[in-house]
Every structure is written in structure tokens, then in C-alpha cells.
Amino acid sequence: MPDNSNQSSDDGAEGAAGGVAAVDRAFAILAAFDGDRPSLPLAEISRRTGLYKSTILRLMVSLERAGFVRRLADGQFAVGHEPLRLAQLYQGAFNLRDALLPILETLSQESAETSSFYVAQGASRVVLLRVEPKRSVRVSIHEGDRFPIDAGASGKVLRAFGAAPDATLDNVREQYWAASVGERDPDTAAISAPVFSAGNVFVGALTLSGPADRFNAEQINRVRATVMNRAAQATAALGGPTERYQAAIRAVDRTPQDGKQGAVGG
């Protein structure tokens, strides 16, 4: 039987070591899963954690909503997708900047526009890295800036290739790029392509943006292959596969488009 002698009646109470009891219990639930038992019934989670089943079920609501656990068809629980994203961020923090910043610098020099790298965080897209051109009129963003994920070229790429791909963005997944004109800011346009790491794991969106009156549909057409080449270079630097980029670049070379496809169409 679970030892519940230390169970608090208030899941939000302060923990003995100064933490929050509910958070400590949520982490205890996650720690109950291991390689030998990747899915567990409620009774086994209770046995392993020493928590009441009613407490576990209350915490599971929040854990499941946040993507940390998932309920299987047979009623058991398993780890969800969110720990994988956090693990990728943890691993990537050691090499993403070193690998990607030189590529962003080259892209910005080639295009004389702002290059950036976005990652998804919930309903937001976050600027992880950015390089601005040496010109007075430019798109100015800062590392750490957050924008809605449902707007902009990078938002489309993040939604198209993320853990739960947006079914309305099939064309973005097919063509490997997305563009936007004035979606978040009426004076800004952008084009974005996905970046992957080893195992074809989606990492984020490499993006080029500029003032809409200068970075128009014609200019977006002109730089599409360049952006995808740099995304392929970034993917190779992170150990990911690049074959799909070459097919996408050949498609761009064969079929010029108006620069808005992949944004409006996706």
C-alpha cells in the first residue's frame, strides 16, 4: 500500500524544502516512468510515488494539458511529447548558437536583411537567435522576443513541422518554406524554412525578414533558394538529413511563384 503519511491535504502547499508540494508531486509522477515500464496504470503510479490515486488524477489533468503525460486507450498513462522538446532544448543549448549564428550572419550579409531563428513555446514563437544587417531601414527584433505562433512565416513553419502538425499547412510541409507579408506587422514581410537535427528531429525555423515595401514578393522569390540552402546548411551542421531540401530547391527553380504561396496558401 502507498505510504501517504506525508501527504498534504493542500496540493498547492509549500513543500518541506521550500518548493511547492504540487510541483514536487508532479515531478514524482514523471519520475515514476522508466525504460522498463514506459506506460503505467494508475495503481502502479500510486505504488511508485506513494501518492493517493485521487491526488495523481488531479495532477494528471495539468500534466496532460501541458503535454507532459498522455492517457492511452487502455487507460494507462505514458510520457507525453513535452519532455522531448525540453530535452532537445537542453541538448541544443550547447551547440545551436555556435552552429547557427555563422549561418545567420552569412544569410544576412547575402540578403542585406534580418536573419533569425525561431523556436516554438506554447502559443508563441520565440526569437532564439538573430542577426541584423548594417542598414538604417531594417526589421529590428531581439533575442527572446515573443510573437504569436499563428502569424508570420516562421509561425507557419513551426506549426507545420511541430509535434502536432497543423493540417492546414500541408503545402508548407511539401514545399519546405513559408512566406508572409504583413501578417504580424503590416510593414514587415518574411520567408522561413525548417531546420532539423539528427534523427530528422524538427528544431526550429530559419527566417529572413525585411520591410514589406523592399522585401516584396519579387524579392522573396529571389531569395527562396538561398534561404532553403542556408536551412539545409544549418540542418547539416546539427547532424540532420538534407536530401529533402535539394528536391524543394529544384522545385523552386522549376516553378517560380508569387512569394505569397506557403503563407496565404498555408
The grid coordinates of residue 22 equal 504540487
**What is the C-alpha to C-alpha distance for residues 127 and 134, in angstroms, rounded to an integer?**
19
Percent of the chain with pLDDT over 70: 84
What interhelical angle do 243-254 and 217-237 show, nearest 10?
160
Q: Which three cell numbers stand for residue 112?
A: 542585406
- Cell 494508475: give the residue: 42
CATH topology of domain 87-254: Beta-Lactamase (3.30.450)
CA 8, chain centre distance (Å): 36
The pLDDT score that the predictor gives to residue 212 is 86
| pLDDT value of residue 234 | 96
pLDDT at position 46 is 96
pLDDT on residue 187: 84
Query: Measuring CA to CA, which residue among 135, 146, 129, 150 is closest to residue 208?
Result: 129
From-to residues of CATH 3.30.450.40 in the chain = 87-254
Helices (H), 122-175: 153-161, 170-175
Looking at per-residue pLDDT, the higher value among 90 and 68 belongs to 68
With cut-offs at 50, 70 and 90, classify the pLDDT of residue 5: very low
Among the listed ranges 8-12, 16-20, 86-90, 198-202, which one has the minimum average pLDDT value?
Answer: 8-12
Model confidence over 103-140: pLDDT tens digits?
999 999 999 899 999 999 888 999 899 998 876 555 66
What pTM was estimated for this model as a whole?
Answer: 0.63
Neighbours of 222 (CB within 10 A): 14
State the pLDDT at residue 136. 57
What confidence tier does 1 reach under pLDDT thresholds 50, 70, 90? Answer: very low
CATH 1.10.10.10 in the chain, residues?
Answer: 21-80
List, for residues 132-190, the tens digit of each pLDDT value: 887 655 566 788 888 899 999 999 999 999 989 999 999 999 999 999 998 888 888 99
pLDDT, tens digit, for every residue of 201-223?
999 999 999 998 888 888 898 99
Question: What percent of the chain has pLDDT above 90?
Answer: 55
Report the alpha-carbon distance of residue 70 to residue 62 in Å, rounded: 11
Average pLDDT over residues 13-38: 80
Q: What is the pLDDT of residue 236?
A: 94
**Topology classification of domain 21-80:** Arc Repressor Mutant, subunit A (1.10.10)
Cα–Cα distances (Å) from 60 to 41, 56, 77, 80, 246, in that order, read 12, 6, 9, 11, 44
Using 50, 70 and 90 to split pLDDT, how confident is the model at 262?
very low
Of 86 and 110, the structure prediction assigns the larger pLDDT to 110
Beta bridge partners of 205: 118, 194
pLDDT at position 80 over 50: yes
Predicted pLDDT of residue 123: 87
- Tell me the mean pLDDT in the region 211-240: 91
Dist CA 212 CA 88 (whole Å): 34
